[in-house]
Amino acid sequence: MATVEFNYSWLPGQTRRKQQDELLFNALRAIHNTGSVQHGAREIGLSYRHVWGMLIKWQAMLNEPLVTMERGRGTRLTPFGEKLLWAEQRVNARLAPQLESLAAELEREFQTVLNSGAETLRVHASHDLALSQLRDLVNRDDGSPRLDVSFMGSQESLASLVRGHCDLAGFHVSEQESKATLAHLAYRRWLRPRTQLLVHFVGRQQGLIVARGNPLKIRGVKDLTRSRVRFVNRQGGSGTRLLLDQLLWDGEIDKARINGYDNEEFTHLAVAATIASGGANAGIGIKAAASRYNLDFIPLVNERYFLAVRKESTHSPAFKSLLAALKSGEFAAAVAGLPGYEAAKCGELVSIKDALPWYASTPQEKVK
C-alpha cells in the first residue's frame, strides 16, 4: 500500500530541513521544560556539544538569540525562543489534521489505481486524539483493512454518513445530555435509529483550558465574560461548540460578552496551542490537549464519543476487524495514556435509543 506524508519547513534553501527543524524544536522544548541545555540534551538523547552547536547555528541564521544563561538560574529560552517554540506548536496543531486528511485522500486514490486488495473504511469524525491513535494502529499492518480518517465537525460528520460519503461518523455528547438540548436538536436530523447503530468509542473529559497556573483564577464559563479574559473557541458545527453554547444557555450568559467567542480553531490541539503561545488565555477543549501543552484544565463535563454506522455495514469483514482493534489490549493501553480518557465500553455495538436514552424519534427533515 502506497503511503503519503506531508510536512512543512520553517526555512527554505537547505537539505534535510525537516530533520533539522524537528531537532531544533525538540531541543527548545526540552530546554524550556528542564531549564538546562545539558539536561535538555539528555532528555532528547543528544550530547551537550551537539545541542549547543545547533543553537549557535540557528541563532546565526535567525539573527536572534534563542537561549539565555544566568548564574544560579540555569538556561532559559529568550522571548524570541519562546515565541518560536509556541508558534511551531500552534502551526503544527492547526495544519496536522488537514495534512493528514489530504494524505489519506491521496492514499485512497493510489489504492484505487494500484487495485490494492485492502478494504478501506472511511471515517468522518469530530477531532479526537484517540481516533488518531486508532488509525495509526489499524493502518500499521499492510493487507489489513485501513482507516481513512478525515476530521470535521460532529454535525458535518453525521451528515456525511447519511449522504453516503463515509462509512462511519464520529460525534460526541455529554453524559448529562437530555431532550431539547442543542445537541439533541442538532443531531436528531442525522441520527437514524432504524438504519444506524452506534459503536462505543471512548469517554473523555471536556472543560476549560487555561494558562499554566491559571493566573486569572478562572473557575467556570461565567468567568469567560471578564474583561481580561481572551477566549479561543471551536468552530461552528463542532460538538464542542454545541457544548459551550449549551453551557452558556444554561447559565444565562450572553456570548456577546465573551472576548474571543468568534475566534475559532478547528481542533482541540489548536485551541491548546493558541493558549500556550499567548494568543488567548482560555479556551474549551479536552483534558488531553491541555496536558499535551502543559496547561491547566478545569473539568466541566464527562462525555461519550460514538462512531455511527449503517446497520448493513456491520457485517463486513473490515468492520469486524475494526471492532477487534477497538477491543484490543494495545488500543486500551493507548487510550489509558491519554489524560481524561477511558475506554470501558470501547467496541460495544448498541442501538441509538440504548446509547442515548434522551433521544426520541422525530419526523426526519428532508436531507439536502
With beta carbons less than 8 A apart as the criterion, state whether 343 and 202 touch. Answer: yes
Query: What residue ranges define each of the domains in the chain, with the CATH number in brackets?
Result: 17-77 (1.10.10.10), 87-355 (3.40.190.290)
- Between CA 220 and CA 299 the distance in angstroms is 9
pTM of the model: 0.78
Per-position pLDDT tens, the chain of length 368: 455 555 556 554 554 455 557 788 888 888 888 889 999 899 888 899 999 998 998 888 888 899 998 776 688 889 888 888 877 777 777 776 666 666 666 665 555 545 455 688 999 999 999 999 999 999 887 767 889 999 999 999 999 999 999 999 999 999 987 777 898 889 999 999 999 999 999 999 999 999 999 999 999 999 999 999 999 999 999 999 999 999 999 999 999 999 999 999 999 999 999 998 889 999 999 999 999 989 999 999 999 999 999 999 999 999 999 999 999 999 999 999 999 999 999 999 999 999 998 776 544 444 44
Number of Cβ within a 10 Å radius of residue 69: 10
- Between CA 147 and CA 139 the distance in angstroms is 6
Which residues in the chain belong to E strands, given as ranges?
Answer: 67-70, 74-77, 120-125, 146-151, 168-174, 196-210, 231-234, 264-265, 282-286, 296-310, 341-342, 349-350
- Between CA 29 and CA 25 the distance in angstroms is 6
